[in-house]
Structure 1
Amino acid sequence: MSRLTSAMRVSALVRRVNAVGGSAMVLARGDPMSGAILILFLDRGERPRFGERGLGEDGRLIESGPRGADSQTVQAYWQRRRDRDPDLWVVEVDVAEGERFADETIATG
């Protein structure tokens, strides 16, 4: 069974979110094959929170980083993460139920 690459997972998430009228964009490209994926979730530009593909018990995204912080704190967080891990993908998703889209697209498989 073939494994989906990080680039394929990110591309699928961006397409799905944009197809339902949301907004998704890649803020930083990581390793196309196996880079970790950090997702910045927004709800109409508000309530920033982060999730990432991890080893959660049920295979879903795990929460990480600051929640509800100002835009400077949010940007500083993902940039620090990226400085430590240049293979990290960073994706911004602004859509209702963004976590559901990410769970179905990024966390599975």
Structure 2
Amino acid sequence: MPRLTSDFFVSALTRRVFNAGGFAAVMRKGAAEAGAVFLVFRGRDGTSRLVGPAPQTDYAEEGGSGRRFSVVAEGLDDEALAGRIEREARFDGDVWFVELDTATPAGELVELVAD
């Protein structure tokens, strides 16, 4: 099974969040075909949890066509988050950042893998 494009994945994810009564916004749009996708879960305390693509070693040989994520950073304030976005964008100009505000746990929206 071919992997979904980043553009399609982000579109489907944001729809799922809105359908569940949450909010989603693309903070930085990357390459439509294959840009890496990072997700920002903003907490009620104002800090953010950043989730990014899991290392390739976390993908199973069979059925590994879906996207898997792992926690990159937690407890980021706005300044730290902006710095992280800037660094990732310098490293990979195709990267996406999507902010999600939802009561749905991250693990129900995307496949999270252990650190």
- Aligned identity (percent) is 32
Is there any run of 5+ residues in structure 2 with no aligned partner, and where?
Answer: 61-67
Q: CA deviation at 1:89?
A: 0.6
More helix by proportion, 1 or 2?
Answer: 1
CA distance in 1, matches of 2:45, 2:23: 10
**Under a length normalisation based on structure 1, what TM-score does the superposition of the two structures give?**
0.81
CA distance in 2, matches of 1:72, 1:80: 12
Is there any run of 5+ residues in structure 1 with no aligned partner, and where?
Answer: none
Q: Deviations over 1:28-85 (max 9, x none)?
A: 11111111001111234634111112236367411113x1121111111112111221
| CA-atom RMSD in angstroms | 2.3
**Under a length normalisation based on structure 2, what TM-score does the superposition of the two structures give?**
0.77
* Deviates most, 51-60 or 75-84: 51-60
The aligned counterpart of 1:100 is 108
Figure out how many residues of one structure are paired with residues of the other and give that number: 104
Mark the structure with the bigger radius of gyration: 2
Q: CA deviation at 1:10?
A: 0.5
Residue 88 in 1 paired to residue 95 in 2? yes
Residue 49 in 1 paired to residue 56 in 2? no
* Deviates most, 40-49 or 9-18: 40-49
Partner SS, residue 51 of structure 1: strand
